[in-house]
């Protein structure tokens, strides 16, 4: 059955300007509420039955609270809670993590995007179960039990993360990535490995490496 898809995604329908509102802000810290309204229009044509189905749905609408508190000049603590609106009248938890940081980098612990997702490319086609990004065999772009370190320098960034299996409730994963900028050139190098003890097909392990060069013109 051949299907053709026409999709239009409106990332901020009826929203103009900034998509975050400050709850409070002071020298000690800050907290803000943020969100995005994402609406998609899909029109799918089934060539076998010569019928077309058009739907208007949510496309990952979400909102959350992001907070940061400065303990002293060298240390701050931070936290984030994000919920999703899948369009079925329910509210789903997307992200929730907390951590600490300073001039030496930032540490986050909890349900969050993996290091691989921070440094990888853009996922441009997840329709019909496909993906423009080939992640690891079992670990995905988010992990429920993830410990992440990130450092952003003037012309480079490094990131490392480890996902705990939590008694085989999630795949374990270890990831290390880095990027650098030299003039108009951007470089990314990294590697990741994962292991899933209960994948449904037995023990599953995979390793991935990536390297890319980008040029801005």
pLDDT score for 77: 97
**Distance of alpha carbon 117 from alpha carbon 177, whole angstroms:** 10
| Strand boundaries in 154-201, DSSP class E | 156-163, 172-182, 185-196
- Residue 175 forms part of a structural domain: yes
Quote the domain boundaries for residue 187. Answer: 104-215
pLDDT score for 42: 81
Q: How far is CA 117 from the centre of its chain?
A: 6
- Residue 140 forms part of a structural domain: yes
- Residue 127 forms part of a structural domain: yes
pLDDT score for 199: 64
- Residue 41 forms part of a structural domain: no
- Residue 30 forms part of a structural domain: no
**Distance of alpha carbon 88 from alpha carbon 20, whole angstroms:** 24
- Residue 54 forms part of a structural domain: no
pLDDT score for 13: 44
Domains in the chain, number: 1
- Residue 53 forms part of a structural domain: no
Q: Which pTM does this prediction carry?
A: 0.78
pLDDT score for 49: 82
Tokens at 129, concatenated: 């179960």
DSSP track, 69-84: EEEETTEEEEEEEEEE
**Distance of alpha carbon 12 from alpha carbon 14, whole angstroms:** 6
- Please report, in tens digits, the pLDDT of each residue of the chain (217 residues total): 344 555 555 554 444 444 788 888 998 999 999 988 888 788 888 888 888 888 877 777 889 999 999 999 999 999 999 998 876 667 888 999 999 999 999 999 999 999 988 887 545 555 555 555 666 767 678 899 999 999 999 999 999 999 998 887 788 999 999 999 999 999 999 999 988 877 666 788 888 888 888 888 8
Q: In degrees rounded to 5, what are phi and psi of residue 198? A: -130, 65
Tokens at 45, concatenated: 């044509």
pLDDT score for 109: 97
pLDDT score for 56: 79
- Residue 78 forms part of a structural domain: no
pLDDT score for 157: 96
């Amino acid at each position: 059955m051949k299907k053709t898809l026409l999709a239009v995604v409106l990332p901020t329908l009826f929203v103009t300007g900034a998509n975050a509102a400050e709850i409070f802000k002071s020298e000690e810290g800050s907290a803000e509420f943020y969100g995005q309204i994402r609406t998609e229009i899909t029109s799918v044509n089934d060539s076998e039955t010569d019928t077309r189905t058009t739907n208007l749905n949510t496309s990952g609408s979400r909102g959350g609270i992001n907070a940061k508190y400065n303990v002293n000049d060298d240390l701050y603590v931070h936290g984030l809670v994000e919920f999703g609106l899948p369009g079925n009248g329910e509210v789903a938890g997307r992200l929730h993590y907390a951590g600490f940081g300073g001039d030496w980098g930032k540490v986050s612990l909890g349900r969050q995007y993996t290091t691989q997702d921070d440094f990888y490319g853009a996922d441009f086609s997840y329709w019909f179960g496909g993906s423009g990004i080939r992640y690891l065999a079992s670990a995905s772009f988010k992990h429920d039990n993830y410990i992440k370190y990130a450092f952003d320098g003037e012309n480079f960034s490094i990131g490392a993360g480890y996902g705990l299996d939590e008694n085989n409730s999630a795949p374990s994963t270890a990831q290390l990535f880095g990027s650098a900028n030299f003039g108009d050139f951007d470089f990314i190098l990294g590697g990741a490995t994962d292991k899933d003890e209960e994948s449904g097909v037995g023990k599953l392990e995979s390793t991935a490496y990536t390297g890319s060069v980008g040029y801005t013109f």
